[in-house]
Structure 1
Amino acid sequence: MAMMRLRREDPRVVGAFRLHRRLGAGGMGVVYLGSDRRGQRVALKVIRPDLAEDQEFRSRFAREVSAARRIRGGCTARLVAADLDATRPWFATQYVPGPSLHDKVMEEGALSAAETAAIGAALAEGLVAVHEAGVVHRDLKPSNILLSPKGPRIIDFGIAWATGASTLTHVGTAVGSPGFLAPEQVRGQPVTPASDVFSLGATLAYSALGDSPFGQGSSEVMLYRVVHEEPQLRGVPAALAPLLRSCLAKSPTERPSTLQLSLRLKEIAAREARGATQSTASHPRANAPVRAPAPRQPGTRTAPAGSRTRPAQRARRPVDRKLLRQRLVVFITVTLLVALGVAAAQGCQGPL
């Protein structure tokens, strides 16, 4: 994750945490890298000063903290501390090292079917825990997924809300990221866990394509495509395309559950990984670096095509000293056993 130096207006201490760097900024506030006295690193979000007096934003912020407290699972950043009554409310979660899925794809290109399925399986399993806590994320997208050494983590529950709660937005106003939010969110209809499944499907399509399945354009264009047009999945690996298409169904009832999605993605990840391993094993030299021929020295002859190289001309393989030692031990042991056997057969006796 990219870090930036603190600005003059940034606080240096919040609660029990000393701030070191900026991690990013969003519509609600700024996220900092901080640490406590024990050296535990956290991602600490502070509401912007101009929004701290807005009760609607305070309510949304309180909902984010409540959502983070209720979720138990390895695929989310654990809540460490919070202060909702501060002049500028804040909360701190476990710091997750690693790039976002968005940054990884931007830097390295589309991921393989096996990588995409493995990431998707972990995220779907994480969403099971999120939904069991009665929470819908509502803004699942590549930039809200961090790829840590221990697996992907879902972050930023800034617009998450409890199932059954009333939305803070007006009907017809979409809250989320165009191209990744579900059609029902665009229409202002109630969101459900199936809304997160749609967003996860769009996110995994981005991972496999390197772009949103609804292309690029203004917010209005993207929202229209999400509601009225089918996703463009040409280029998505065949192993993933049918499952992702079902996740991107316009009707929430036609999408798989997060549990079904997790199981299917695990199967695909395992099958694709086995296929890649078998392909490499059957072609062990496929990935071997191609060596350029040595430059021809003056006065030397080039062997005719198809002729065999003489033993003296063949490159010597490096000596495996460990293997030589093992063979020497075996040879000595066998020789001694044979000698003892012959001596026993002949009734050999030592000198008197």
Structure 2
Amino acid sequence: MAMMRLRREDPRVIGAFRLHRRLGAGGMGVVYLGSDRRGQRVALKVIRPDLAEDQEFRSRFAREVSAARRIRGGCTARLVAADLDAAKPWFATQYVPGPSLHDKVVEHGALSAAETAAVGAALAEGLVAVHEAGVVHRDLKPSNILLSPKGPRIIDFGIAWATGASTLTHVGTAVGSPGFLAPEQVRGQPVTPASDVFSLGATLAYAALGDSPFGQGSSEVMLYRVVHEEPQLHGVPAALAPLLRSCLAKSAQERPSTLQLSLRLKEIAAREARGVSRPAGRARPAPAPARAPEPRRPAGRTAPGRTGTRAPAARPRPGRVDSRLLRQRLIVFVTVTLLVVLGLAAAQGCQGPV
């Protein structure tokens, strides 16, 4: 995660935390890197002044922080501390090192099917814990997923809300990120865990494609596509496409539950990981079918059902020498030896004694 130096207007200390760097700024406020006296690092978000003056927002924010305290599980950034009564309300969560999923894809390209499924399985399991606490994230997107060395983490519960709450802060204003929020959020209908399932499906499609499944465009264009058009999943690995399409169903009732999604993604991740171990495009050759040995037949006789064909004469096995050929060679050797001896004897007789 990119860090920036503190600006002149930034505070240096908030609560029990000393601030060191800026981590970023968003629609709700500024996020700082801080630490307490024990050296524990936190991501501390300070709410914007105009929102802090809105009593309705303060009440909602207090309920959200209370709900976030109940979330248990290793796939979220744990809430450490908060001050809801400060002039500028703030809350601090455990600092998670590592790039966001958005930055990972921008810098290194789309993830493989195995990587996408593994990240998705962990996130779905994290959402199970979130939903069990009665909370809906409502803004799940690639920039709110941090890829830490210990696995992906869900961050930024700044607009999280209790299950069944409306998605409109003011009339006609949808809360969430265009291209990743569910159709019911665009329409201002109550949010449910299925709303997060839609957002997770869009997030995983982004990881596998390198782009939003609803393309690019203005907020109005993106919101229209989410409600009225089907997602573009061309290029998504075949192992993931059907499951992601079900997550992106327009009707919340047609989407899988977070538990079902987690189990299915774990299966896909395991299967795809096994497939990666072999070189692409190379298949292990199938063993040749075993053939029963044919019965031996006497030489010169044809097999049953075959006519006009004689079985070829059996060739001598390597290492065996024909006995007749051996006798012939022995006779030739003896004859040559005798001729040589007789020739030497005749030569000596002709010379006589010296």
TM-score (norm 2): 0.77
- Letter in structure 1 aligned against 2:124: A
Structure 2: unaligned runs, 5 residues or longer: 284-354
Output the CA distance in 2 between the equivalents of 1:66 and 1:23.
24
SS of 2:184 mapped into structure 1: helix
| Distance in 1 (alpha carbons) for counterparts of 2:112 and 2:168 | 39
Per-residue deviation, 1:53: 1.6
* Deviation digits for residues 276-322 of structure 1 (CA, Å, limit 9, x no counterpart): 01337979xxxxxxxxxxxxxxxxxxxxxxxxxxxxxxxxxxxxxxx
Question: Separation in 2 of the partners of 1:252 and 1:267?
Answer: 23
In the alignment, the residues of structure 2 paired with residue 275 and residue 193 of structure 1 have an alpha-carbon distance, to the nearest angstrom, of 32
SS in 2 for 1:51: helix
- 1:203-214 mapped onto 2 (5 Å cutoff): 203-214=203-214
Superposed counterparts of 1:48-59, under 5 Å: 48-59=48-59
Q: CA deviation at 1:59?
A: 2.6
Is 1:28–1:48's contact at 8 Å kept on the other side of the alignment? yes
2:275 is the counterpart of 1:262: no
How many angstroms apart in 2 are the aligned matches of 1:165 and 1:9?
36
How far apart in 2 are the matches of 1:174 and 1:221? 14
Mapped partners of 2:68, 2:10: distance in 1: 25
Q: Distance in 1 between matches of 2:243 and 2:80?
A: 36
Alignment of 1:219 with 2:222, yes or no, is no
Match of 1:324 in 2: none
Matched residue SS, 1:24: strand
What displacement does 1:67 show? 2.7
Is the 8 Å Cα contact of residues 165 and 190 (structure 2) preserved in structure 1? no
Equivalences for residues 296-311 of structure 1 within 5 A = none
Partner Cα separation in structure 2 for residue 213 and residue 102 of structure 1: 14
Could you report, residue by residue, the CA deviation over 1:311-344 in whole angstroms, capped at 9, with x for unpaired residues?
xxxxxxxxxxxxxxxxxxxxxxxxxxxxxxxxxx
Paired residue secondary structure (2:146): strand
Per the alignment, residue 197 of structure 1 pairs with 197
Structure 1 position 167, deviation (Å): 5.1
CA distance in 2, matches of 1:264, 1:124: 10
Q: Name stretches of at least 5 consecutive residues in structure 1 with no aligned partner.
A: 284-352
- Please give the alpha-carbon distance, in whole angstroms, between the structure 1 residues aligned to 2:164 and 2:234: 37
CA distance in 2, matches of 1:50, 1:38: 33
Equivalent residues of 1:19, 1:32 under 8 A apart = yes
- 1:21 is the counterpart of 2:10: no
1:89-128 alignment, distance < 5 Å: 89-128=89-128
Cα deviation, residue 70, structure 1:
1.4
Q: CA deviation at 1:56?
A: 2.7
Counterpart of 2:133, as a letter, is: A
Q: Secondary structure at the match of 2:169?
A: coil
What amino acid maps onto 1:89 in structure 2?
P
CA displacement, residues 114-170 of structure 1 (integer Å, 9 cap, x when unaligned)? 000000000000000000111111000000000000000001111111124455524
1:252 equivalenced with 2:252 (yes/no): yes
Q: Deviations over 1:47-67 (max 9, x none)?
A: 123332221332343233123
Deviations 1:172-206 (A, max 9, x none): 43110000000011111111100000000000000
CA distance in 2, matches of 1:134, 1:193: 9
1:168/1:261 CA distance change after superposition, 3 Å? same
Distance 1:63 1:115 in 2: 35
Task: Report deviation, 1:88.
Answer: 1.3
Q: Does the CA-based 8 Å contact 2:159-2:175 persist in structure 1? A: yes
Q: Distance in 2 between matches of 1:227 and 1:194?
A: 15
8 Å CA contact 1:170–1:188 kept in 2: the answer is no
Cα distance, 1:134–1:23 mapped onto 2, change above 3 Å: same
In structure 2, give the amino acid aligned to 1:215: G
Structure 2 equivalent of residue 238 of structure 1: 238
Other-structure match for 1:160: 160
Measure, in 1, the Cα distance between the counterparts of 2:171 and 2:52.
25
Matched-pair contact (CA < 8 Å) for 1:214–1:231? yes
Equivalent in the alignment of 1:183: 183
- One-letter amino acid of the structure 1 residue matched with residue 113 of structure 2: A
Question: What SS does structure 1 have at the residue aligned with 2:7?
Answer: coil
Larger radius of gyration: 2
Bigger mean CA deviation after superposition, 161-170 or 258-267? 161-170
- CA RMSD, 1 decimal: 1.6
Bigger mean CA offset, 101-110 vs 50-59: 50-59
**In 1, Cα distance between the equivalents of 2:178 and 2:131?**
22
Map 1:1-150 onto structure 2 (within 5 A): 1-150=1-150
Normalising by structure 1, we get a TM-score of 0.78
Equivalent residue, structure 1, for 2:346? none
- Structure 2 contact 168–175 (Cα < 8 Å) conserved: no
CA distance in 2, matches of 1:64, 1:3: 27
Task: Return closer, same or farther for 1:157/1:175 CA change in 2, 3 Å cut-off.
Answer: same
**What is the percent sequence identity of the aligned residues?**
94
Residue type at the aligned position of 2:84 = L
Q: Is the 8 A contact 1:206 1:212 kept in 2?
A: yes
Q: Is the 8 A contact 1:145 1:155 kept in 2?
A: yes
- Aligned residue for 1:309? none
Separation of aligned partners in 1, 2:54 and 2:44: 20
2:18 is paired with a residue of what secondary structure? strand
